[in-house]
Amino acid sequence: MLMKPSKILIIRLSAIGDVLRTLPAFHIIRKNFPEAKIAWIVEPPAKDILDAHPDIDEVIVFPKKEITEKLGSRKTFFQGLKQFLLLMRDIRREKYEVAIDFHGLFKSGIISFSSGARDRVGFTKPFVREMNYLFNNRRFSADTEKLNRVERNIRLVEKLGLNIHQSPPKIHIPKKDSEVIQRFLKLNRIEPQRPLIAIHPGTSPSTPYKRWEAYRYAVVADKVIEDSAAQIIFTWANEEIEMVNEISGLMKYRATIAPKTENLCQLAEIFRCSDLYLGSDTGPMHLAAFVKTPVVAIFGPTDHVVNEPYKHTPHIVIRKEVACSPCRKKTCPARDCMKGVKETDVIRAVNIMLDSFKNKRNKKVKPGLRNSRLQR
């Protein structure tokens, strides 16, 4: 058991979905130490969600891309090294008593060690990579790799002897971000009495192997509009707009394309206002689940046990059982795991959710719906 620390540093740098899935463990830490100062070091993409959270005292930004680019050039190598060392100096000056490393890589281990914290907490091998375990002095086993990431993070704080008060974490959306989205929905004549389905078809540039085909999203969207008079809003980030435009162009019916969101809080507000989320295994999928919007998730190469949406939010995972899944073969030419998920599978799951939840905002919920996995 930790001896009532006054300053705690949480280390979970990326990715967006992984940062979100650390929030339940953070809530447990906060409930156990309500008076402690808790800082969280994170990379820029997930910064806004943490900045908006009232229970996080400080958000420290780790500019990984900037530092890495400088370190990768002979001309700027020492600039990058200086920038990193100055950041570590500032962290060490705070005199954190506890550093909790949820990330489990070399870079997070360096940050943990550099913090100078008396208790540096993390997982032991084989549950970390890049010899991360060497940097922490309180190491625990996760017991099994086949564990949802939310539960894995909770297990780490449980092993510290903390009281486990599990309550769904809340995503805090600033008023100004909510108003931006509300104005957009009003201007685009989104009708509150009709179901609104948010579809996020893209994935990060590094994970194209997790994407379902554009024409299939178009088929599903058209069918759902026909069956349920649903409204479709496509969300996107960066170059994902190209896929969204392709899907929209293939559709028979009109769909709304979301604006370029300024931050994750605005994206969260779109999902919060939606009755259902549809997409593959991405950070936005987890964001939708954490704002309590029912999820239909299309899984292919990633492990559905480890990565499925937050268990307290109703969801259906659709996947095809293939011998080679899960895998991380990003250049797989076959992609049988994704191609095996048919349009009819997804339409059926969407209809199940819409029938069970009707309009989320009116809270017409059928009792007894459990989280499901549809396999072929």
What are the extents of the domains in the chain? 7-159, 175-375
* % of the chain surpassing 90 pLDDT: 85
* pLDDT for residue 263 is more than 50: yes
Residue 140 is given by DSSP the state E
Nearest to 101 by CA among 9, 2, 1: 9
Instruction: Identify which of 167-171, 314-318, 368-372 has the greatest average pLDDT.
Output: 314-318
CB 372 within 8 A of CB 297: no
CB 199 within 8 A of CB 279: yes
Strand partners of residue 374: 318
On average, the pLDDT of the chain sits at: 93
Tokens of 231: 């409204």
* pLDDT for residue 370 is more than 50: no
* % of the chain surpassing 70 pLDDT: 94
* pLDDT for residue 176 is more than 70: yes
- Mean pLDDT along residues 218-224: 98
Fold identical between 7-159 and 175-375? yes
* pLDDT for residue 310 is more than 90: yes
Q: What is the pLDDT of residue 167?
A: 73
Q: 241-269 as b/e, with b when 16 or more CB fall inside 10 Å?
A: eebbeebbeebeeebbbbbebebbbbbbb
- Mean pLDDT along residues 53-65: 97
Nearest to 375 by CA among 282, 299, 295: 299
SS3 of 292, please? coil
Cβ contacts of residue 214 below 8 Å, gap of 6+? 201, 243, 246, 247, 250
* pLDDT for residue 302 is more than 60: yes
pLDDT in tens, 75-104: 999 999 999 999 999 999 999 999 999 999
Name the amino acid, one letter, at 298.
Answer: I
* pLDDT for residue 232 is more than 60: yes
Phi, psi (degrees; rounded to nearest 5) at 278: -130, 130
Q: What is the pLDDT of residue 50?
A: 98
Cα dihedral 282→174→28→132 (10° resolution): 50
Q: 340-368 as b/e, with b when 16 or more CB fall inside 10 Å?
A: bbebebbbebbebbbebbbebeeeeeeee
Q: What is the pLDDT of residue 242?
A: 96
Q: What is the pLDDT of residue 372?
A: 64
pLDDT in tens, 207-216: 889 999 999 9
Q: Can you list the alpha helix ranges (DSSP code H) found in the chain?
A: 16-20, 23-32, 47-51, 64-71, 77-93, 106-114, 149-159, 175-187, 214-228, 241-250, 264-272, 283-290, 304-307, 336-339, 343-357
pLDDT in tens, 111-138: 999 999 999 999 999 999 999 999 999 9
- Mean pLDDT along residues 272-297: 97
CA distance 283 to 200: 10
* pLDDT for residue 362 is more than 70: no
* pLDDT for residue 268 is more than 60: yes
Tokens of 79: 């600039």
State pTM to two decimals. Answer: 0.93
Class of domain 175-375: alpha beta
pLDDT in tens, 149-169: 999 999 999 999 999 976 778
pLDDT in tens, 241-259: 999 999 999 999 999 999 9
Question: How confident is residue 367, by pLDDT bands cut at 50, 70 and 90?
Answer: very low
Q: What is the pLDDT of residue 363?
A: 46
Positive or negative, the CA dihedral 36, 286, 51, 129 is positive
**Which CATH architecture best describes the domain 7-159?**
3-Layer(aba) Sandwich (3.40)
- Mean pLDDT along residues 315-342: 89
- Mean pLDDT along residues 43-52: 97
In the sheet that holds 7-11, the strands lie side by side as 58-61, 37-42, 7-11, 98-101, 119-123, 138-140
Q: What is the pLDDT of residue 375?
A: 58
Q: What is the pLDDT of residue 361?
A: 46
* pLDDT for residue 369 is more than 60: no
